[in-house]
Structures are given as structure tokens and as C-alpha cells.
Structure 1
Amino acid sequence: MTEPIRIANCSGFFGDRPSGAIEMVEGGPIDVLTGDWLAELTMLILSRIRAKRPGSGYARTFVGQMEQVMGTCLDQGIKVVSNAGGLDPDGCADAVHEVAQKLGLNPTIAYIDGDDLLPRIAELAESGALQPFGDTDLGDVSSYLTANAYLGCFGIVDALAQGADIVITGRVTDAAVTCGPAAWHHGWQRTDFDQLAGGVVAGHVIECSAQATGGNYSFFNEIDGRTEVGGRTRFGFPWADVHADGSSVIGKHDGTGGAVTVGTVTSQLLYEIGGPEYLGPDVTARFDTLEVEQLERDRVRISGVRGQAPPSTLKVAMNEMGGYRNSFSVALTGLDIDDKAAFAEAAFWDACSFTADDFESFTSRVIRTDKPDPATQEEATAIWRVTVKDHDERKVGRAFADANVHTALASIPGMYGLGGGPSAASPFGVYRPAIVPNDLVPQYVHVVGGATTQVDSVAPQGPPIEVVLDDVPRREWGDTTAAPLGTIIGTRSGDKGGNANLGVFTRNDDAWVWIDEWLTSERLAELLPEAAALPIDRHRFPKIRSLNFVVHGLLDEGVAASTRQDAQAKAVGEWLRARVVDIPTELL
């Protein structure tokens, strides 16, 4: 049995705090430094960077971090594995190599590609190999800006086995940068599904940096009874001690902010998942088998994870050019808010050279941020927000924006704009998920200055495992009290393409018994009227006292195209927690 390997995270998205690498390398002992830069939206952002500067479609912040910590990592034998290569992993590797030369260092650098299917996408679509994923369609293949398959962890394993000190990937699964080093260290094989599933779960927990240590946590002001957590904003980043059997201990460096508790880990486990079967290119991890326990302060053990064979396909994340969009917001102040909104809209269309039907998409919303008997002008103010989309840039550009300006003296009382929206239209992308047979997408491992090897993406197949969950005992409840639902539940929500994921968890068994029976998909639709007309999936995770809902279509065609104020559904869970319902008094 090999010793556990400590894998630390220093980034959860393209824009996370740049000091993360130094904090994790110098803050305590680690074996591997990882980071995740590639949200679905990030690929679209990187495509715009690459369009302006060919070869630069990678996270330059990662290169800066390598300049800060490369010497220490080499001295201490710390491996670095990151997906910061984005659309140009070779360009990122070259940039890191230049940093090494500047510092007088000589690390072995490897990069992994093969995920970029854009040059082959028309051929794959025409042959039928490319198929829509879920309830989407392929859209206009000729207008794709990016098309990247989610690769698994065995390219990383190969790179590390060849002696790489720094491994840079393109689009791999978020958990692969953790599972890869664990599989390399422990010698896991492709058929070791339970162990691989444990590595995937550990990677899923630490991939979003401080979200595992108290960031974005519903009970932020009472984590583990530590009042200082609620007042500190600089949460430490997490690490995972991954054991040979696939179990892991999630922790953080001593003396850093935040906390690692059953609650913070459970919350992150629910982030952006679907049902109990968490599909991946190397293994399907069964989230309905895992167990979580607090070992000591800031140490949480995850165990019991079972895995089964992955699908024979890889998921492909594609971004299509969706057209152009523009928007503006107008303040509605004081009395007669709805009438003022109607008047302002009528005045706008009088001034506009187009009608609502002329646009491919027109969205008009009144956001009631006003309060009765307002003590301040802000409390008296609601917002009317308009967004238009069209492939004709001319229609949604200055002609649209100027029409609102022209009503400034001929509209509602107290008329003024909020935020001074752009007069020029901005391009937006449409997210298109798909699947492709895994035998068509091998990985290529390039050692800078050395050889290139091919690693097949084909995974062993096998039947699903049978998971039998204990029935939750039902019981009668006595008196109820009207209270916010968040009094007894925590939530974590986010985006999966055009769908919103909403995880719900409780911190004791009694609350779980009640919420499991009470919070159905139908009741969720009643509590969140924006979701009332949309399909809602409900999944149970009794071992971690949790539910997960997937609200289909809440985010339109993905983050970049969504017209919701909360385009990534980050706060949908907190909206649910604010709803006042009748809760059994004994639970309060």
C-alpha cells in the first residue's frame, strides 16, 4: 500500500486570486499543486483572446503563478498539474518554458492535447459520430467557436510517468487534474473503478478552491460554531489526501481562514451535479454511495465511494456564435411601478425604429427592488430591464440604445438610466453540449524537447453496480411555524449549460426526514415560480442527507446567452432558502 498523496488546489476558475499558488506551496506540505481554470464560459472567453492573439488561448495568470513558485516546487519535489492550457496548451507550455529559462531552471514540462475537435467538427457531425447531449441540439456547426472533448486522467498519468514536473492540459474534466496524480502515485489501472471514483470525488470537492473551505456556504456565519469564519473573507484553499483505496481526507493548511466541515464538503459535493451517477471519461462515480465524516478540526474523510464503468462516449463542450446582444436598465421610482414600466416601454417603442417582433429575442423584466414607505431613494426604486438579441449587429447596436436615450425627457416621471448600458452591441455565444465515441478522441502527451506519445481514451466497459439505499423512516409531525426554509437547509446552486443545478442538504437526521418527504419537484416549482413551467429532475442522496434538483432551461442557451440577472444560477439556492414555509416547530 502506497502512502496517501496530498493534492492541493490553487485555482477554481479563470480569475481566482493569483496568490493561491504561493499560499499552497509555502503554507504547508503538499505533493501536487493543481488548479482548475476552465469553466464552460471560459472556453468562449479564451476563444476571443485567441482570435485577437493566435496561440494565446490559455490562462496567462497560471504562467505568472509558475514564475512565483516554480523554483520552490522543483526544490521540494512538488508536481504541478493544471488545465490552464485551455485552447492552446502548447502555447501555455512554451510560455512556462520561457519562464523557466528566465529563472535558470530546467523542469520537465509536458502538455496534453487532442481535445480540440473544432478542425474535425463538420466531419464528425456529418458522419453522425457527433450527437446532441441531453435535451439540446447541435445548432449551426459552421458557426462553432470552440469544440472540446472532456478528456480523462490517463494522459496526465502518462505524463507524470515520463517524469514531467509540470503537466499542462487542455480541456479535461475538472476532477482529472486530481484523479490523474492519484492514479499515477498509487498505480491505479483503468479497471480500478472504485479507486478512480474516489479520486474523482476528491477532485470534485477541491476543484472550486475555497468553496470547500467555507466560500459560498449557506451557513457562512456559523461554520462549525466558529464566529471568526463569518468575519473572514480570505478563506484558505483546500487539499485532499488521497489514499490507495480511493478514500480521501479533505483539509486545508493550518492557520488559514475558513473551515473544512461535513457541511462545507457536502455543499461542494452537490455543486453542478445531476443524478447519483456522475459520468466521466474514466469512471462513473456513484455519489449515492459515498459517506462523509468529521475526523477532527478542518479534516473531513470521504469514504465508501463506488465506481462503475464509464460511458463509451466523451462529452464535448461547444460554443456557437449566437449573435449580438444589448440591454439597458431604467429606474422606476416611487408609486405606480407597473404603470411606469408600461409607460416607459411604450415610449421606447415609439422612439425605436424597430418593433419587438423585429428582434430574434426580446426580454423585458420589471425587477421589484422597491420597498413600501421607503426611507431612502434606493428603497423606493425598482428596475425595468430590457435585453435584445439578433444576428444583425446593426439592429441591436446604436439604433437600439439611442432609442432609450431619446425618451429621456418624454417618458415617466423621475426617468433616469442605471449603469449607462453600451451603445454598441456585444457578441455572445450559445453553449452546445454533445457526445462523441471515445475511440475517436485519443490524447497526445508531448514532453517539451522530447517525445510525443498517444494515450487511448477508450475505457473498459461493464454493467452498472446495484446500489440499495435504506428507506428513510416517515413520521408524523406536530405543530408548524412559518419560517424561512434556510433555517434548516443549506443549498449550493450553479449552471450546467442551459440548466440550473440546485443542491439541498440538511445538517441533522430529523430535518432530512422531513425535507426528503416534503420538498418534491412540484413543491420546488411552487416556491420558485420562474421554474414552474420547466422540467425539474429530483435526485436523492440519503447518505449525505441531500437532494439535488436539475431545472431544465432556466438559463436559456447557457451562461453567455442567458438574460437572467443571475446568469449562472449561483444564488438560486439562496432564493429558495429565503422562502417562508410552514416548518415543523420541533425542527426549529
Structure 2
Amino acid sequence: MTETASTVLRVANCSGFYGDRLSAAREMVEGGPIDVLTGDWLAELTMMILAGDRLKGRPGYARTFLTQMEQVLGTCLDRGIKIVSNAGGLDPRACAEAVSELAARLGLRASIAHVTGDDLMPLAGPVVNADTAETLTATPITANAYLGGRPIAVALEHGADVVVTGRVTDAALVTGPGMWFHGWGPGDLDALAGSVVAGHIVECGCQATGGNYAFFGEVPDLAHCGFPIAELRADGSSVITKHPGTGGLVSVGTVTAQLLYEIGSPRYLGPDVTARFDTVQLEQEGPDRVLVTGVRGEAPPPTLKVAVNHLGGYRNTMTLVLTGLDIEAKARIAEEAIWARVPKDSFEHVHVELTPMGSPSPAEQTALLRITVMDADRRTAGRAFSSAVVETGLASYPGFYGLTPPGDASPYGVYWPALVDAAAVQAVVTVDGTSIEVARPPAPDVTEAVSVETGPSVETGPPPYGGDLTKGGTAPLGTAPLGTVAGARSGDKGGNANLGVWVRTAEEFAWLRAFLTEDRLRELLPETGDLPIDRFELPNLHALNFVVRGLLGRGVAASPLLDAQAKALGERLRAVPVPIPDFMTNSNIS
């Protein structure tokens, strides 16, 4: 079938997080033809930020969304461009009212819809952590179920020009418009799964178009990177692209990197469908155009994910700089001096992190010593600690200086993932004052799971594919950083970290899947220690995905780590020298 404007829905992203480029909405509307403008403003940390805003009497939604709407709302109405956003955060009704007031101020007539039902407060019954099986004993301050795309589709079916949601899955911002435009029902599992994959690719904005890409040297004009567009077809396949004349790059590599971001099992669970990421097929269709096909779908689970947040206590961090010789000895002296003034065991939790920052030359060696204390008592974690650190300034290691002044403790939140019966959650769409309860569709009549061919088995023991890290294998090997032949992207999933690694060809993947086992990952990244590690294969992408459970503790808001979101975990892995087969040493990732 020849593609026409009536068979393809062009869904453009203009935000990957609360704080993304304010001009992006205008750039996407003015840069070329689009049908739907979406943006993702929410993350687990964002919900905590919005909760804090609400406690201070501020709006519980993403206020930057209104700034963007002021720039583009009139043009979108003129051109029939629908706007779908989760910027409603903890208060989608108030956000929708603010958009309505903005439209009136601009002299525009717009149909504004908002989606509610995700807010489950107050929670009833025990709240079990989906990762650790612990039962919550603290008092939640937020609890939001991840809704799917169906409420968005209902809003668009009732004529909404702008749809504002609270907590929906990131991919729902694409799946919902796809349901509306292509008429997908609950049984169209493959099409729905394809839209989920497209939504996952574009949800993080420029990360699909060359942003944060391992091989950034391949990306032209990254400073003016264009945001992504998903050209969504009726069968759920899509083309990922961007507006012409913008910077960045859309390649199989950049799309693969984003597909591996913040995922777990290849069975990607969602409220509308379970998308099989191990069935995704990518093809470079042309410059800055990647075709995404082959995605298979299975029935959604009977439960919805719930993001629960509670206050964890108070924290304070002081950062000292160590320079020159004897870095570790200087760190030890610094700690001894501090704990002599304020006992270490007076805090509920203490985290000490020594991070080298300099070169091998002793004259240029620098390290950061970050000491974080946490306690339920604000006074204990406050100036009593930070002032004690400053008091050591003239009685500590040579070259002492710090990066943080003495300050009070600040509250921190804890993210608590949970599950709830999907049938117990009632989504409601309100369009121009009329409320519509969105019925949960019956489960599709599917009795068999999708069978996926993962390719021939590969030996994972002796060389040439395994090999000893110091001696190499029986095949000729060169030693080089893993990143010379493999890309990686990493991120946070609550208290867990995900790490995706990919190579270019099937032959290279045969080596990677055999070489990079869970035990090998522990050798290369000692910070993983004895934490549980799950390893998943995605042969179609020539990729592996690892989930390191508990690396981030209680989640981003509570993590004392310098890299609290595991953003650099993949780059740390790529920097480690490993023995690489000769057939790979001259290959270049593209």
C-alpha cells in the first residue's frame, strides 16, 4: 500500500523530561508537518518534585508545559495538530484548567480534556514492594497507577484538541493517538505493541536522535539536535525520523540505544499490551529514517504498576577535593577527623564515595570525597554534620578544600514500586466539563505466548569467545576498551539500574553474548559487587540488557551515589580494557 497522509500518523515529541528544551514545541510545530505533538514530563523523581511543590502550595503539574503551549497552541489549532501530554502530573485537572485559561487569554477556542483515575491516594491495605517484596510501613505521600493509551484515545474521539494526563506510561502518549487514528481495539496486539515500541523510542526526546549516544562523534551538529518523530502506520510499524535541517542523527545505532534505555525483560509489560522487544527489527530506510517492524504483542498483565513515594528522612552531603599524592591516605585522614567530631554511628546511614577525577600524573591527580549522611532527625543530619566537616579545614590532609558550604539537611523521598489489580482502577476522561468513565476492555482471546527464535546456542565457557581477561583466548585477541566495538546505554528503574550493550553484526553478537556474562560484568564493574544481576538477550538488536538489582538503593531521590541515576554506568563499562577478537578490532559501529 502506498503511504499517504491518511495512512500515517506523524507523532512528534517535544519533551523528554521536566526541564527539557523550552523551544522544542515551537521547533516541532514549525519545522514540518506533524499530526500530534506529545511530550513526556514525568519520571519517578519528577513525581517527588511535584509532591514537594504541592506541599509548598505550588501547582502539582509541570508549569513549563504552559510556557510551551503559549508558543504553539494557536498554530496547533489552526493546523489541526492534537496535543497530548502527561504534564498534568499530580493535578491534571488544574493543568487543564490552566491551559483553558491560557487559551481564553490568547482569544482561542480549544477543547481541553484531562485524564484522571491514576491517583490512588489514600492507599488501602498493605503495599508490597514489587522489587523486594517488602511491605511498606511508612505513610505514602503519592500513589499513582500507570494508565495506558485508551483514555487518551477516548478523549481524542470526543473531539479534544489538547489532552492532559497524570501518570500514564510514557509510551501511552503515542499508543493513545494510534488507537484513535487507526481504530485499534484490544485484540490488535501486534499493532499496539508496535506503537509501544515507537513510543518508547521517542519518549526521551533527543536520546533517539543522537543525544547521549555512545558514538557521539558520528552525530552532526549535536548542539542543535532535532527532536524525534514517529511515523506510525496502521499495522503498528513505524519510521523514526526528525525534521529536515535539524542537527542530530537517526540511525539504527541511535534507535537501538534508546530501545535499550530503562528496560528490564524483553517482555515489556504495559496496560494495553505486552510488547516483545526481542521481536523488534530495525532497518535504515534512508538518511535519518529508521524503519521499525516485526513487533509482536501479547496480552497485557492483569495488574498495573503503581509509583508510590514516601518521605524517607533527611540527608546532607559534603564534598571534599583531594589532590596529588596519597589520595586514599588523605581520604582516610579526612574521615578520621570528621568522625572524631561527630560520631559516624550517630546517623542512620552513612555513604562515603571516593571518585578519582584526574590523570595518571601525580601532579594532576584529583579525587572527590563525597560523604552523605541520612537520618530521620533533621537536626542530626543538618549543620551538626556539615559544620563538623568544615571544622576540620585546618586540621586535616594537605591541600584541603571543599566544594560545598555548611548547610542544613534536606528531605529526601523513597520510591516504592507496587502493583494493583487493573480492574480496581477507573480512568475518567473529562472533556469540556463532561466526564466519561473509560471501561477496561475485555482480555483479548489469546491463548499462546509469542515464540521468538533467538538463534543458535553459543558456547560461553572456554576461549575463543570466553577466555581469561588477562591471558586472552585461543583465537588472536587484542586488548582495547570494550567501547571501541560496543555501544552502551544505562539508566535507573527505581532502585535498580539497567545497562544495555550492543554491537553491529550477528558475528559480533555471538562473541558478545558469550563473553559478557553476569560474572564477567561483575569483574568489569566492581561496584555491582554481589548484587543480583538479570541478563536478557535481544538478538534482533545484537544486544544484551542487564538489570543490576539494588544498585541505586531506594531509588533516585534517596540514592547517595554521585551517579544516582546510573546514567554513566554504561560508559564506565565501555572504558574497561578487554580482550577483543581480531575480526572485531577494525570494525566500526554505525
TM bin, normalised by shorter chain, reads: over 0.9
1:234 to 224, 240, 255: 224
- Counterpart contact for 1:341–1:384, Cα < 8 Å: yes
Once the 2 structures are TM-superposed, how far is the Cα of residue 242 of structure 1 from its aligned partner? 0.6
Matched, 1:36 2:20: no
- Amino acid in the other structure paired with 2:436: T
- Three-state SS of the structure 2 residue aligned to 1:502 is strand
- Shift of the 396–457 alpha-carbon distance from structure 1 to 2, 3 Å rule, reads farther
Name the counterpart of 2:388: 403
Q: Distance in 2 between matches of 1:373 and 1:572?
A: 25
Name the counterpart of 1:538: 535
Once the 2 structures are TM-superposed, how far is the Cα of residue 372 of structure 1 from its aligned partner? 3.9
Q: Distance in 1 between matches of 2:149 and 2:511?
A: 40
- Counterpart contact for 1:136–1:433, Cα < 8 Å: no
- Three-state SS of the structure 2 residue aligned to 1:177 is helix
Name the counterpart of 1:522: 519
How many residues are treated as equivalent by the alignment? 567
- Counterpart contact for 2:278–2:452, Cα < 8 Å: no
Name the counterpart of 1:226: none
- Amino acid in the other structure paired with 1:409: L
Farther off after superposition, 58-67 or 334-343: 334-343
- Counterpart contact for 1:441–1:456, Cα < 8 Å: no
Q: Distance in 2 between matches of 1:149 and 1:138?
A: 18
Question: What is the CA deviation profile of residues 409-440 of structure 1, one whole-angstrom value per residue up to 9, with x for unaligned ones?
Answer: 112222211x2245100100011000000111
1:259 to 230, 249, 252: 249
Once the 2 structures are TM-superposed, how far is the Cα of residue 458 of structure 1 from its aligned partner? 5.4
Q: Distance in 2 between matches of 1:339 and 1:474?
A: 46
Matched, 1:386 2:371: yes
Q: Distance in 2 between matches of 1:427 and 1:190?
A: 43
Name the counterpart of 2:26: 22
Name the counterpart of 2:507: 510
- Shift of the 464–363 alpha-carbon distance from structure 1 to 2, 3 Å rule, reads farther
RMSD over aligned Cα atoms: 1.5
Matched, 1:331 2:321: yes
- Counterpart contact for 1:510–1:587, Cα < 8 Å: no
Name the counterpart of 2:561: 564
Q: Distance in 1 between matches of 2:183 and 2:455?
A: 37
Q: Distance in 1 between matches of 2:368 and 2:137?
A: 35
- Counterpart contact for 1:314–1:438, Cα < 8 Å: yes
- Amino acid in the other structure paired with 1:99: L
Name the counterpart of 1:157: 153
Once the 2 structures are TM-superposed, how far is the Cα of residue 516 of structure 1 from its aligned partner? 1.2
Q: Distance in 2 between matches of 1:447 and 1:468?
A: 42
Question: What is the CA deviation profile of residues 77-133 of structure 1, one whole-angstrom value per residue up to 9, with x for unaligned ones?
Answer: 0000000000010110111011100110010000001101122x1x243xxxx5431
Q: Distance in 1 between matches of 2:436 and 2:46?
A: 28
The 5 A counterparts of 1:152-551 are 152-223=148-219, 229=220, 231-352=221-342, 355-375=343-363, 379-417=364-402, 419-448=403-432, 450-457=433-440, 460=443, 462-472=446-456, 474=458, 478-551=475-548
Once the 2 structures are TM-superposed, how far is the Cα of residue 473 of structure 1 from its aligned partner? 6.5
- Shift of the 52–383 alpha-carbon distance from structure 1 to 2, 3 Å rule, reads same
Name the counterpart of 1:581: 578
- Amino acid in the other structure paired with 1:277: R
Matched, 1:7 2:11: yes
Q: Distance in 2 between matches of 1:39 and 1:190?
A: 27
- Three-state SS of the structure 2 residue aligned to 1:216 is coil
Once the 2 structures are TM-superposed, how far is the Cα of residue 401 of structure 1 from its aligned partner? 0.7
Q: Distance in 2 between matches of 1:17 and 1:542?
A: 34
- Three-state SS of the structure 2 residue aligned to 1:233 is helix
- Three-state SS of the structure 2 residue aligned to 1:236 is coil
- Three-state SS of the structure 2 residue aligned to 1:118 is coil
- Amino acid in the other structure paired with 2:64: T
- Amino acid in the other structure paired with 2:412: F
- Amino acid in the other structure paired with 2:186: R
Once the 2 structures are TM-superposed, how far is the Cα of residue 350 of structure 1 from its aligned partner? 1.7
Question: What is the CA deviation profile of residues 186-215 of structure 1, one whole-angstrom value per residue up to 9, with x for unaligned ones?
Answer: 000011111110111100000000000000
- Counterpart contact for 2:353–2:561, Cα < 8 Å: no
- Counterpart contact for 1:282–1:459, Cα < 8 Å: no
- Counterpart contact for 2:100–2:112, Cα < 8 Å: yes
- Three-state SS of the structure 2 residue aligned to 1:198 is helix
- Amino acid in the other structure paired with 1:71: G
Matched, 1:68 2:68: no
Q: Distance in 2 between matches of 1:480 and 1:251?
A: 38
- Amino acid in the other structure paired with 2:85: S
Q: Distance in 2 between matches of 1:92 and 1:160?
A: 17
Q: Distance in 1 between matches of 2:37 and 2:352?
A: 46
- Counterpart contact for 1:281–1:457, Cα < 8 Å: no
- Shift of the 388–311 alpha-carbon distance from structure 1 to 2, 3 Å rule, reads same
Unaligned runs of 5+ in 2: 466-474, 586-590
Alignment TM-score, normalising by the size of structure 2: 0.94
1:78 to 64, 76, 81: 81
Name the counterpart of 2:91: 88
Name the counterpart of 2:470: none
- Counterpart contact for 1:151–1:457, Cα < 8 Å: no
- Amino acid in the other structure paired with 2:24: G
Q: Distance in 2 between matches of 1:243 and 1:487?
A: 36
Q: Distance in 1 between matches of 2:360 and 2:513?
A: 36
Q: Distance in 2 between matches of 1:274 and 1:396?
A: 35
Q: Distance in 1 between matches of 2:334 and 2:80?
A: 64
Q: Distance in 2 between matches of 1:370 and 1:27?
A: 43
Once the 2 structures are TM-superposed, how far is the Cα of residue 138 of structure 1 from its aligned partner? 3.7
Question: What is the CA deviation profile of residues 206-236 of structure 1, one whole-angstrom value per residue up to 9, with x for unaligned ones?
Answer: 000000000011111024xxxxx1x532210
Q: Where does structure 1 differ by over 6 angstroms across 4 or more consecutive aligned residues?
A: none
Question: What is the CA deviation profile of residues 344-369 of structure 1, one whole-angstrom value per residue up to 9, with x for unaligned ones?
Answer: 111112222xx222211011222222
- Three-state SS of the structure 2 residue aligned to 1:215 is coil
- Shift of the 91–464 alpha-carbon distance from structure 1 to 2, 3 Å rule, reads farther
Name the counterpart of 2:468: none
- Counterpart contact for 2:279–2:452, Cα < 8 Å: no
Q: Distance in 2 between matches of 1:565 and 1:340?
A: 20
Q: Distance in 2 between matches of 1:194 and 1:3?
A: 17
Unaligned runs of 5+ in 1: 224-228
- Amino acid in the other structure paired with 1:491: A
- Three-state SS of the structure 1 residue aligned to 2:297 is strand
Q: Distance in 2 between matches of 1:235 and 1:294?
A: 19
Question: What is the CA deviation profile of residues 46-100 of structure 1, one whole-angstrom value per residue up to 9, with x for unaligned ones?
Answer: 011111125x100111111111101100110000000000001011011101110
2:137 to 123, 135, 140: 140
- Three-state SS of the structure 2 residue aligned to 1:67 is helix
